[in-house]
Amino acid sequence: MSGIALSRLAQERKAWRKDHPFGFVAVPTKNPDGTMNLMNWECAIPGKKGTPWEGGLFKLRMLFKDDYPSSPPKCKFEPPLFHPNVYPSGTVCLSILEEDKDWRPAITIKQVFLALQL
């Protein structure tokens, strides 16, 4: 695993624990040996007020590649849900999550979540 990716994800986790939007959840998974896996996060995003998703809490998995933050995380709703920016597989279709479009290494996990909020 890339030291750059792990270092950045550790910083992101620390920042998230200090300050994150109300109702949002982002927790790295655990490896079989009990250690934290910063490359795989289980998340939940609340539905935005005034939308059909208001009141819901939508589970999402964020997977990071070894070249993060040069490449964006893969975000997938589990289970898949109906939304114009979500493929039937649950994978999110958003320009800031596409390396050849609007992804920038300076984009934080918090910014991704706010863009994903339904």
**Two tokens at 110?**
């918090």
43 an active-site residue? no
Report how far residue 99's alpha carbon sits from residue 73's, in angstroms, rounded to the nearest whole number. Answer: 10
The SS3 call for residue 10 is helix
DSSP assignment string, 44-109 = EEEPPTTSTTTT-EEEEEEE--TTTTTSPPEEEESS----TTB-TTSBB--GGG-TTTT--TT--H
Residue of 93, 102, 104, 111 marked active site: 93
Q: Catalytic site residues?
A: 93
